[in-house]
């Protein structure tokens, strides 16, 4: 009986430890927008899912993104126009870097 209890406890601890660690192979999207002071919210949209990020000094990132094809929308402050980037492909375990995006007036 003691062996069964020890085995069950060891199995439970191993299961908790296994699921406690963050997946190091998570996918993501990142980029930057200029002029930085004119960036509002940045959205990543696919199907019915949408992710929201705030740009910090023009830089934005989405972590733990599901693989797929996204539309990235940068909401701009006046006098700039919103920027839409279609067809952003995210692959399993990779971060898609959109590089530097420039807002237009």
Domain definitions of the chain by residue range = 24-97
The whole-number mean pLDDT for each consecutive block of 10 residues of the chain, a chain of 105 residues, reads 61 53 74 96 95 96 96 97 98 97 97
Residues whose CB is less than 8 angstroms from the CB of residue 56 and which lie 6 or more positions away in sequence, other chains included: none
Provide the pLDDT for residue 10. Answer: 52
The whole model's pTM is what? Answer: 0.75
Provide the pLDDT for residue 24. Answer: 52
Radius of gyration, alpha carbons of the chain = 20
Provide the pLDDT for residue 13. Answer: 53
The 10 Å CB-count burial string (b at 16+, else e) for 40-56 is eebbbebeeeebebebe
The class (CATH top level) of 24-97 is mainly beta
Provide the pLDDT for residue 5. Answer: 59
Residues whose CB is less than 8 angstroms from the CB of residue 33 and which lie 6 or more positions away in sequence, other chains included: 39, 42, 55, 58, 60, 74, 83, 100, 101, 102, 103
């Amino acid at each position: 009986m003691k062996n069964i209890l020890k085995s069950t406890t060891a199995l439970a601890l191993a299961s908790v430890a296994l699921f406690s660690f963050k997946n190091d192979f998570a996918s993501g999207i990142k980029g930057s927008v200029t002029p930085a002071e004119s960036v509002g919210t940045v959205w990543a949209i696919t199907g019915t899912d949408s992710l929201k990020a705030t740009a910090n000094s023009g830089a934005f990132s989405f972590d733990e993104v599901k693989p797929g094809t996204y539309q990235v929308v940068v909401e701009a402050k006046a006098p700039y126009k919103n920027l839409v980037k279609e067809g952003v492909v995210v692959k399993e375990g990779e971060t898609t870097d959109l590089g530097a995006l420039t807002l237009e007036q």
